[in-house]
Amino acid sequence: MSKKLLHHFESKQVSIEERIKAGKAMRKKVTRQSLGIYNPPAKRPDPVAILEKQGKERVAELVPIRYARMLTSPFAFLRGSAGIMAGDIACSVKHSGLSVQACGDMHLANFGVFSSAERNLVFGINDFDETIPAPFEWDLKRLSASIVAAGQFLGADKKICEDSIRRAISSYRKKMRQFSRMGNLEVWYSTIKDKDILQTLDASARAGAEKIFSKARSRTHMQVLGKLTDMVDEKHLLREAAPFIVRMTQTENGKPIREGIAAFLETYFASLADDRASLLSRYRITDVARKVVGVGSVGTRCFVIFMTGSHLDDPLFLQLKEAQPSVFGPFVAKSKYSNEGQRVVSGQRLIQGAPDIFLGWGTVDKRQFYIRQLRDMKGSLEFDPAKIKIENLPQYTSLCGWALALAHAKSGDAAMLAGYVGNSEELDDAMVKFAFSYATQNEKDYEALVKAAKTGRIKVGKSE
């Protein structure tokens, strides 16, 4: 054991009250009220140029699909514009100085239910591509802005949008106070179970939640087998739907795809615990396809690896997704991980309640990836105006605030955070102010993309 580590374990424990007091003291340097200010830089970069620059690192033929999906609404634009908003958040005002493992892309559609290793449904953050240590309020700002964008898209008026932000931030503050009084292991083992969710919802919202739970439980590998494959010569093969799902025969470097996947799996296995690696070794590769996913991720290299175990009805579907540098990377300390896939996986393991048992990372053709199971007992709210009861939005955002507080408590100092955010509504007021200011900016950026499409500056494909 190094002297530095030994000193850490032998150093005096600072009490919860002292850490809460220290968090309160940080308000003198950066007030909670100031976090609500949005000051775009004088020479704010062209938002379309930022997207174009990102596109140069992506599969060229898929970039028009990304634009198509972002153009469907200002909310969809916000979902795909984490790289734009990162600079706006980082450069607008001085940050709190309280660091956590930030999600980095904390919008309203990046929450959902998923299965724990024990096959229980839990609720939490479900996207970690941008995760990196950063000021806690950066996640709160993006979440709050997304509530306005999503609310307006779904037909909510200003009152519902504001109430939804306040419910989210109030929930975050109250849960952080609870976590600050809990032991480290108690926080670590905490999850938001399906029964916990149902206890917090009224009858109307509870019915919608139960539908999501039921759908998630049905999304097993057998369900994916029936939905994504066809039987060909007594063998299941992935069903193509170009350009969204395309079977791959070779890598970008011209290697046979199986050779490329095998090379990746060698590095990926090293990131798994021995028991997971042993389980995975019992499966064999059946088929591989490139798959378009999400909004902001469109154009990054994403593949489905279809594997078969002891018999035809023993499928395993893995999603291999390219990991690029976090959008917050230029504004924070350099990541300690040289592999971006490891950055994503390590961040997810730290802040998600029950990460996928096959979550890991690796490298192929000098590109860095992370891997997880595809759709295994995963479910989320459908942001469709025809399907959602807009009056239930505040209850949903309250759950999101709870989940974000849990993630930040696992990775940061919950007592200092609780001290800073406090008991009053000052932080709530600040986030409401920021959210509506940024919603205006997001609308302008969306219109800039609309104009770029109309003038032919960008090429727009089909969204699906």
Q: What is the mean pLDDT of residues 214-220?
A: 87
Confidence band (pLDDT; 50, 70, 90) for 301? Answer: very high
Confidence band (pLDDT; 50, 70, 90) for 249? Answer: confident
Longest distance between any two alpha carbons in the chain, whole Å: 71
Tens digit of each residue's pLDDT (9 = 90 or more) over 339-349: 999 999 999 99
Tens digit of each residue's pLDDT (9 = 90 or more) over 12-22: 688 999 999 99
Range of lowest pLDDT (34-48, 107-121, 187-201): 107-121
Q: Which residues contact 111 (CB under 8 A, 6 or more apart)?
A: 123, 124, 125, 126, 380, 381, 399, 400, 403
Q: What's the pLDDT at 118?
A: 79
Angle at 63 between CA 60 and CA 67, to 5 degrees: 160
Query: Residue 58: what are its φ and ψ, rounded to 5°?
Result: -115, 175
Confidence band (pLDDT; 50, 70, 90) for 429? Answer: very high
pLDDT of 353 higher than 80: no
Question: For residues 320 and 302, is the Cβ–Cβ distance under 8 A?
Answer: yes
Confidence band (pLDDT; 50, 70, 90) for 7? Answer: low
E strand or H helix at 364 = strand 360-364
Tokens of 372: 């997880």
Q: What's the pLDDT at 2?
A: 65
* Pairing mode of beta strands 132-135, 111-115: unpaired
Q: What is the mean pLDDT of residues 19-37?
A: 96
Q: Which residues contact 395 (CB under 8 A, 6 or more apart)?
A: 167, 200, 201, 202, 205
Q: What is the mean pLDDT of residues 142-149?
A: 98
**Mean pLDDT score across all residues of the chain:** 92
Q: What's the pLDDT at 93?
A: 81
Tens digit of each residue's pLDDT (9 = 90 or more) over 151-179: 999 999 999 999 999 999 999 999 999 99
pLDDT of 213 higher than 60: yes
Distances in Å between the alpha carbon of 320 and those of 288, 361, 385? 10, 9, 31
pLDDT over 70, % of the chain: 97
pLDDT of 235 higher than 70: yes
Q: Which residues contact 55 (CB under 8 A, 6 or more apart)?
A: 63, 66, 299
pLDDT of 90 higher than 60: yes
Indicate the DSSP class of residue 290. Answer: E
Q: Which residues contact 185 (CB under 8 A, 6 or more apart)?
A: none
| Residue 253 or residue 29, greater confidence | 29
Max avg pLDDT among 62-76, 192-206, 287-301: 62-76
| Residue 233 or residue 279, greater confidence | 279
Confidence band (pLDDT; 50, 70, 90) for 378? Answer: confident
Indicate the DSSP class of residue 13. Answer: P
Question: For residues 219 and 377, is the Cβ–Cβ distance under 8 A?
Answer: yes
The secondary structure of 35-74 as a DSSP string is: GG-----TTPPPHHHHHHHHHTTS-GGGHHHHHHHHTT-H
In angstroms, rounded to a whole number, what is the distance separating the alpha carbons of residues 13 and 18?
10
Q: What's the pLDDT at 5?
A: 57
Using alpha carbons, select from 376, 365, 371 the residue that is nearest to residue 344: 371
Q: What's the pLDDT at 258?
A: 80
In angstroms, rounded to a whole number, what is the distance separating the alpha carbons of residues 196 and 178?
15
Confidence band (pLDDT; 50, 70, 90) for 386? Answer: confident
Q: What's the pLDDT at 30?
A: 96
Q: What's the pLDDT at 295?
A: 93
Confidence band (pLDDT; 50, 70, 90) for 263? Answer: confident
The secondary structure of 84-121 as a DSSP string is: HHHHHHHHHS---S-EEEE-SS--TTSEEEEE-TTS-E
Q: What's the pLDDT at 8?
A: 61
Confidence band (pLDDT; 50, 70, 90) for 86? Answer: very high
Distances in Å between the alpha carbon of 343 and those of 106, 304, 410? 17, 21, 17
Confidence band (pLDDT; 50, 70, 90) for 264? Answer: confident
